Amino acid sequence: MALLQISEPGQTTAPHHRNYAAGIDLGTTNSLVAINRSGQVETLPDSNNQHLLPSVVHYAEDSILVGYSALQLQASDPLNTLSSVKRIMGRGIEDIKSLGNILPYEFDGNNDSNVPRIITRQGSVSAIEVSAEILKILSKRAEQTMGEALSGVVITVPAYFDDAQRQATRDAAKLAGLNVYRLLNEPTAAAVAYGLDQQTEEGTIAVYDLGGGTFDISILNLSKGVFEVLATGGNSSLGGDDMDHAIAEWLIKQAGIEGDIDPFMLRQLLIASRKAKEDLTLQETTQIKLKELDYSISLDREQFNHLIEDLVNKTLRSCRRAIRDAKIEKEDIQNVVMVGGSTRVPLVVEQVGHFFGCTPLCDLDPDRVVAIGAALQADVLAGNKPDQEMLLLDVLPLSLCIETMGGLSEKIISRNSPLPVARAQEFTTFKDGQTAMAIHVVQGERELVTDCRSLAHFELRGIPPMTAGSARIKVTYQVDADGLMSVIAEELRSGIKADIVIKPSYGLTDGEVESMLRDSMSHAKEDIDSRMLAEQQVEARRVIEAIDSALSQDGHELLADDEYNSITTARDELEKLIPEATTEQLKKAIKNIEVISDNYVAKRMNASVQKVLSGKNINEVEI
């Protein structure tokens, strides 16, 4: 029996050809699915009326459990119950090591690929496969609710996710058999849920996302249908759980509990603390009862506010930094959107409102707002909203760069460029007779390649031998609407070409990628310094290269011995200086060598002019 939904005027589709498109918030701790039903966009509950699906997957002997049923087994069977895999999506084995012990799983040491695999009793699984299980449950829930298959989904990802992490999310969806219309940044989805994209043509929006264990602040700029991420910031280990801990510590002090607290007791304390925190959202005061200790105490909101003051202030400091990174003033922000369960705490709303000087948007359920925004966008992409042509465009989250001499990273496409995009830049050879060029594609905002994320290496071969600097190699970077990147390198004189399609290689650099953006800001000064040094080093090598090449051609011919020797001495000194000297010292040494070889350069010039002119009539010489 088909149960029908109400369509927009004129949008009734043929039976069995409905365009049901869902939005999925694939979270670190919890996931949700939302869909438009008869014009109402809502998150969908399971048969127990639970909207949230814990992002936990349990691998049992012969089945796979997802959600609450898996969560229950976490304590008794931790190695086969995987949670928080979002933290390792799109990461390489090296990255996992640098994450430390936050994920207590056994990783498979003998696999050839760079994708970390976790050992479970059903064999080893990657984060992509685990995420696919979560996506399968959510899409099945949506299909059961709508009574028909989904035509496509929009999945949300953090604004700071890089290409590899986004690609991993797409792969997970593909594995779950879903058609991904697009990925949407979480803060953008939240802004869409509040209809901010419909209200104004332009504006600046802050999205304050305080979840259970993470805090994210994003500054977005909306302009002509494009949400641009101006800055992101936050703290990957700050959230509502810390509030519970703050209350628990206070309880321990008040109840006079001394000595070591066993894990069971701690859990009881945290459960009681969490309940108190939730009670104080609506009540002014609450009674905390610890049955095990036969202890009871009342906590009022004022005292609670005092306990969490520091935590809230920490988030505001991140906000201040993000505003500075975005190069805007606090007053430029017209709207603040509240996301994440912990924004229900009255002090948070109050302080955020006070900080930004406007009333934060918190009418929608902060746990569901991201999924709702994704569903709205999914509906538009499925073609169900003829009068809303608004299509949010994706922007490049991090700049795409190329490695140049000296390990420098040269930006080809800068971050926040709307997709699709293509940009080209010309490069040249460094050495005489150079016939090949290695192209190293990297992603990131830092000035040195070692601080960026490596995406691909390839070579352009068969360049005809020419003097250094005369080859013209055009490198084109292209990113299509799906985020797939291709690079073409072409030597323009000979027409030889090489290209590569980049499936971002999962994780080649150490360190957390989410910090890349923040790092680029905080290391701006030293980055510029190291860039200038590297540039001088390259210049020094180029000078040495040129001198060597010239001297071997006509050094002894044109120069007296003492002249020749003073040039080679200066050259050797410069070479010795390269690895250790400062930018200024190198500059000086290069200048010095230029002065010394001035005479030689002039002689060479004369010699070559003579060569051209000798034996020729004045009329034969083209000027």
Partner 1 sequence: MAINLTEVAADRVKSFLQSRGKGIGLRIGIKTTGCSGMAYVLEFVDEVDDTDEVFESQGVKVIVDPKSLVYLDGTKVDFAKDGLNEGFQFINPNAKDECGCGESFTV
* Residue ranges binding partner 1 (CB under 8 A): 1-12, 14-16, 37-40, 44-47, 141, 144-147
Residues listed for the chain: 623
* Beta carbon of residue 64, minimum distance to partner 1 (angstroms, whole number): 20
**141 vs 301, beta carbon nearer partner 1:** 141
* Beta carbon of residue 377, minimum distance to partner 1 (angstroms, whole number): 18
**38 vs 101, beta carbon nearer partner 1:** 38
497 classed as catalytic = no
Q: Which of 129, 133, 186, 228 is catalytic?
A: 186
d(Cα 88, Cα 403) in Å, to the nearest integer?
Answer: 27
Residue 85 and residue 99 in contact, taking contact as beta carbons nearer than 8 Å = no
Tokens of 156: 């949300």
d(Cα 4, Cα 469) in Å, to the nearest integer?
Answer: 69
Return the closest-CA partner of residue 27 out of 277, 341, 363, 281. 341
* Beta carbon of residue 172, minimum distance to partner 1 (angstroms, whole number): 23
d(Cα 276, Cα 434) in Å, to the nearest integer?
Answer: 71
186 classed as catalytic = yes
**48 vs 63, beta carbon nearer partner 1:** 48
For 483-515, b where at least 16 C-beta lie within 10 A, e where not — what string? bbbebbbbbeeeebebebebebbbbbbeebbbe
d(Cα 333, Cα 491) in Å, to the nearest integer?
Answer: 47
Residue 597 and residue 567 in contact, taking contact as beta carbons nearer than 8 Å = yes
Tokens of 145: 């609710």
CA end-to-end distance (rounded Å), the chain: 90
**CA torsion through residues 112, 116, 119, 120, sign:** negative
**70 vs 372, beta carbon nearer partner 1:** 372
* Beta carbon of residue 145, minimum distance to partner 1 (angstroms, whole number): 4
Tokens of 219: 């500054």
209 classed as catalytic = yes
* Beta carbon of residue 14, minimum distance to partner 1 (angstroms, whole number): 5
**5 vs 435, beta carbon nearer partner 1:** 5
Q: In the sheet that 202-210 helps form, which strands lie side by side, from edge to edge? A: 226-235, 215-223, 202-210, 333-339
d(Cα 248, Cα 272) in Å, to the nearest integer?
Answer: 8
d(Cα 97, Cα 424) in Å, to the nearest integer?
Answer: 36
Q: Which of 25, 133, 216, 379 is catalytic?
A: 25
Tokens of 491: 């030597």
* Beta carbon of residue 41, minimum distance to partner 1 (angstroms, whole number): 9
* Beta carbon of residue 38, minimum distance to partner 1 (angstroms, whole number): 5
- The rounded radius of gyration (Å) of the Cα atoms in the chain is 31
CA angle 474, 475, 481 (to 5 degrees): 135
Residue 425 and residue 512 in contact, taking contact as beta carbons nearer than 8 Å = no
Contacts of 352 (CB under 8 A, 6+ apart): 208, 315, 316, 319, 336, 338, 343, 360
Residue 439 and residue 458 in contact, taking contact as beta carbons nearer than 8 Å = yes
Q: Which of 46, 86, 228, 451 is catalytic?
A: 86
- Phi then psi dihedrals of residue 589, to 5 deg: -65, -40
Tokens of 453: 């994320």
Phi-psi region of 254 (alpha: psi -120 to 50; beta: other; left: phi over 0): alpha
* Beta carbon of residue 141, minimum distance to partner 1 (angstroms, whole number): 7
**17 vs 611, beta carbon nearer partner 1:** 17
**7 vs 334, beta carbon nearer partner 1:** 7
Question: In this structure, how many other beta carbons lie within 10 angstroms of the beta carbon of residue 591?
Answer: 10
Residue 201 is given by DSSP the state S
* Beta carbon of residue 194, minimum distance to partner 1 (angstroms, whole number): 14
Q: Which 3 state secondary structure label does DSSP give 424?
A: strand
**123 vs 195, beta carbon nearer partner 1:** 195
* Beta carbon of residue 349, minimum distance to partner 1 (angstroms, whole number): 24
Q: Looking at this protein, which amino acid is placed at residue 381?
A: L
**41 vs 559, beta carbon nearer partner 1:** 41
CA angle 36, 396, 237 (to 5 degrees): 75
**83 vs 145, beta carbon nearer partner 1:** 145
**146 vs 189, beta carbon nearer partner 1:** 146
**375 vs 567, beta carbon nearer partner 1:** 375
Q: Which of 129, 133, 163, 209 is catalytic?
A: 209
Question: In this structure, how many other beta carbons lie within 10 angstroms of the beta carbon of residue 456?
Answer: 18
Residue 506 and residue 424 in contact, taking contact as beta carbons nearer than 8 Å = no
Q: How far apart, in Å, are the Cα atoms of 510 and each of 507, 531, 557, 580?
A: 8, 20, 53, 26
* Beta carbon of residue 135, minimum distance to partner 1 (angstroms, whole number): 17
d(Cα 353, Cα 312) in Å, to the nearest integer?
Answer: 12
* Beta carbon of residue 143, minimum distance to partner 1 (angstroms, whole number): 9
**What positions carry a catalytic annotation?**
25, 86, 186, 209
